[in-house]
Amino acid sequence: MESKVVSTQGKELRNMELSEAVFGLPVNEDIIYYAINNELANARVGTASTKDRSEVHGTNRRPYSQKGTGRARHGDTKSNVYVGGGISFGPKPRDFSYMMPRKAKRLAMKTILSLKAQDGTLAVVEDFTVETGKTIDLVKALSSFVNAETPERTILILKDDDPMLKRAARNIPWLKYLSYNRLRAHDLFYGRKVIVLETAAKMLNEFYAN
């Protein structure tokens, strides 16, 4: 499939070929769902913890007599029915992360790229950098694609680890930058606009070709 390569001023420069195997796949909602769930699960810290009745500090003495009071029987005030007592079946520290098959994850990324290409939210832009590393210069470079007054969540796919471009981008709340070989399904899917540098688009063709 063909795509227009545009300048940072929004002018069409030339056409480039995007691989059908990467940008022309049918949308697979299931695989997108699994990939996003996998990323969210792997990002969970899993440090939530509660105390059960054996861990709560307190006395083991009965609160009142076993018989003769007309009340329910209680062994101690650390029971879960008392305020300040233990928690029944509460969370304990655990690891939520799990591995997703490599082929499935690659398919998810290709599906999301295809979705963005098909709905017109993906733009291929000629390679550029921000030599000053200043946020304001990057905002100006992206002004043809994003309205600074009412910005939408935007994803910028880079061809390499450009330190100055990353420095300029890290202070923009509505912009996320991703390297072509380290995409994240959650960011990519929820991005309202996806801007791909021209060389990064070529590398995506090769990296996800198989």
Q: CA separation (Å) from 47 to 66, 92, 145?
A: 39, 7, 41
Whole-angstrom Cα distance, residue 77 to residue 22?
62
- Any residues with CB less than 8 A from the CB of 203 and at least 6 apart, and which? 159, 180, 181
Whole-angstrom Cα distance, residue 3 to residue 15?
6
Task: Say whether 150 sits in a helix, a strand or coil.
Answer: coil
Whole-angstrom Cα distance, residue 194 to residue 189?
9
- Give residue for tokens 């939530």: 48
Whole-angstrom Cα distance, residue 39 to residue 99?
10
Task: Say whether 188 sits in a helix, a strand or coil.
Answer: helix
Task: Say whether 40 sits in a helix, a strand or coil.
Answer: helix
pLDDT digits (tens, 9 = 90+) for 13-57: 888 999 999 999 999 999 999 999 999 999 999 999 999 999 999
pTM: 0.83
pLDDT at position 89 is: 94
In the chain the domains, ranked by start, together with CATH numbers, are 2-9+18-42+101-207 (3.40.1370.10), 50-90 (no CATH)
* Kind plus residue range of the DSSP H or E element containing 148: none
pLDDT digits (tens, 9 = 90+) for 71-129: 999 999 999 999 999 999 999 999 999 999 999 999 999 999 999 999 989 999 999 98
